[in-house]
C-alpha cells in the first residue's frame, strides 16, 4: 500500500461537533476547551460558525468565542461563513480562515442554506472575493458528496461541477463532506476518480461522518488515492441539523490512533487529545462514543492527567 508520510488533521468539533448539541454550552466552557485543543499539536481548528443565529443557536456566540480564546501561533482558527453578513462578523472577530459551504444536491442545499444551488453561487462568490481582499485564505465545503438525505445518491459529476465553480471563485482548499455517513470505499474511489484528473490532491480534504462506521475505511481508501488532509471531531461529536440521522464526524482520537499505528505522522499528540475529549465530555455531561474513549472507560481512566 502506498501511503503518505504526513497527514494534516483539521479539527472541526467546536463547530460541527457542537452545532448538533441541543444543550447550550457556555462560551467560557467552549473557550477553555478550545484552549486545550490548541495545545495538542493540531494546526487547524474550526472554532465556530457565523451563520444566522436563529438557525444554529448553539453557535450564536461565535464572536465571543473567537475573541476569547488564547491564540497559539501555530494554529489556524477558522469559521464557517454563509454570506457577507457572516463574513463581516467573522472578520471583526479576527478569524484566520473563512469557510464557505454548499451542497452537491438541491435538497440538502435548500434545507441547509435556504437557496437553490444556482442562487448560492453569487452569494459565495462575493464572500470569497471579499475574504481574499481582507487577506484571508478561504476553504470551500461541498456537502452530500456521496448521498443526500432528501435526493438520494449523488452522481460524482455533480460534485465536480460545484467544485469547479468554487475553485474558479478562488478557494484555496476544498473539503468534501460525506454528510450523512452512508458512503463506502468504492464510492469514495468513484468520487475521487472523477475529481483527481481535474484538481490537485493537495487541495482536497475529506470530511467523513461516521454514522455507519465506514469513515476509517473511507479514509484509508482516500489515503491510497493521495489525499493527505482529513477533517475529524474530537469524541466523534457532530452532525448536520439539516440532515436527519447524520451522526458525528470520524473521531479525531480514533483517526490519530490508526494513522500513528500505520506510521503516518500528524504532529498531534494522542494523549493530550484524549484529555481534551474528557474535558468536553464532562462539560456535555454524557459519554463520548469514540473507540479510544471507550477504552479509557474500560480501563477506569475517566480522568487522565
Where do contacts with ligand HMG occur on this chain (CB under 6 A)? 16, 19, 49-53, 55-56, 80, 82-83, 85-86, 89, 101, 112-114, 141, 143, 177, 179, 207, 209, 240, 242
φ and ψ of 303, to 5 deg: -140, 90
Residue 55 binds which entry of ligand HMG, Mg ion, none, CB below 5-8 Å type-dependent: ligand HMG
Residue 47 binds which entry of ligand HMG, Mg ion, none, CB below 5-8 Å type-dependent: none
Which 3 state secondary structure label does DSSP give 9? strand
Q: State the DSSP H helix or E strand holding residue 270, giving kind and residue range, or none if neither.
A: helix 270-284
φ and ψ of 21, to 5 deg: -85, 125
Closest to Mg ion by CB, 16 or 97? 16
Kindly write down the DSSP assignment for every residue of 13-79, as one continuous string: IIIIIGGG-SSPPPHHHHHHHHHHHTTTT-SEEEEEE-S-TTT-GGGTTHHHHHHHSPPPTT-EEEE
Q: How many Å apart are CA 254 and CA 267, to the nearest integer?
A: 15
> Strand 76-80 vs strand 44-49: parallel, antiparallel, or unpaired?
parallel
8 Å CB contact between 238 and 209: yes
Closest to ligand HMG by CB, 20 or 72? 20
CB 296 to ligand HMG: min, Å: 27
Closest to ligand HMG by CB, 107 or 270? 107
CB 97 to ligand HMG: min, Å: 14
CB 233 to Mg ion: min, Å: 8
Residue 228 binds which entry of ligand HMG, Mg ion, none, CB below 5-8 Å type-dependent: none
Active site residue ranges: 240
CB 230 to ligand HMG: min, Å: 13
Residue 266 binds which entry of ligand HMG, Mg ion, none, CB below 5-8 Å type-dependent: none
- Selection from 53, 56, 101, 99 nearest residue 76 by Cα: 99
Residue 85 binds which entry of Mg ion, ligand HMG, none, CB below 5-8 Å type-dependent: ligand HMG
Closest to ligand HMG by CB, 65 or 80? 80
Q: How many Å apart are CA 188 and CA 174, to the nearest integer?
A: 15
Closest to ligand HMG by CB, 148 or 274? 148
Q: Where on the chain is the footprint of Mg ion (CB under 5 A)?
A: 16
8 Å CB contact between 284 and 21: yes
Q: State the DSSP H helix or E strand holding residue 89, giving kind and residue range, or none if neither.
A: helix 84-93
Amino acid at each position: 500500500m502506498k501511503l503518505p508520510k504526513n497527514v494534516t488533521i483539521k479539527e472541526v468539533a467546536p463547530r460541527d461537533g457542537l452545532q448538533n448539541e441541543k444543550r447550550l454550552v457556555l462560551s467560557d466552557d467552549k473557550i477553555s476547551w478550545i484552549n486545550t485543543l490548541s495545545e495538542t499539536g493540531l494546526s487547524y481548528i474550526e472554532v465556530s460558525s457565523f451563520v444566522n443565529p436563529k438557525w444554529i443557536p448553539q453557535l450564536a456566540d461565535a464572536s465571543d468565542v473567537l475573541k476569547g480564546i488564547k491564540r497559539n501561533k501555530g494554529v489556524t482558527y477558522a469559521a464557517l461563513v454563509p454570506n457577507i453578513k457572516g463574513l463581516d462578523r467573522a472578520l471583526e472577530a479576527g478569524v484566520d480562515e473563512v469557510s464557505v459551504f454548499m451542497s452537491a444536491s438541491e435538497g440538502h442545499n435548500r434545507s441547509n442554506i435556504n437557496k437553490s444551488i444556482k442562487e448560492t453561487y453569487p452569494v459565495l462568490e462575493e464572500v470569497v472575493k471579499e475574504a481574499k481582499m481582507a487577506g484571508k485564505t478561504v476553504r470551500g465545503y461541498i456537502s452530500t458528496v456521496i448521498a443526500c438525505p432528501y435526493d438520494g445518491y449523488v452522481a460524482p459529476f455533480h460534485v465536480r461541477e460545484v467544485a469547479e465553480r468554487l475553485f474558479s471563485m478562488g478557494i484555496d482548499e476544498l473539503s468534501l463532506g460525506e454528510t450523512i455517513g452512508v458512503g463506502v470505499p468504492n464510492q469514495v474511489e468513484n468520487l475521487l476518480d472523477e475529481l483527481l484528473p481535474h484538481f490537485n490532491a493537495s487541495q482536497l480534504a475529506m470530511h467523513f461522518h461516521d454514522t455507519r462506521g465506514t469513515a476509517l475505511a473511507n479514509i484509508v481508501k482516500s489515503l491510497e488515492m493521495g489525499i493527505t488532509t482529513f477533517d475529524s471531531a474530537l469524541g466523534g461529536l457532530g452532525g448536520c441539523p439539516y440532515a436527519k440521522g447524520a451522526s458525528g464526524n470520524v473521531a479525531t482520537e480514533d483517526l490519530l490512533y490508526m494513522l500513528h499505528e500505520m506510521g503516518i505522522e500528524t504532529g498531534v499528540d494522542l494523549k493530550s487529545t484524549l484529555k481534551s475529549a474528557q474535558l468536553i465530555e464532562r462539560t456535555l455531561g454524557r459519554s463520548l462514543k469514540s473507540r479510544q474513549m471507550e477504552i479509557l472507560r474500560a480501563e477506569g481512566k475517566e480522568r487522565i492527567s
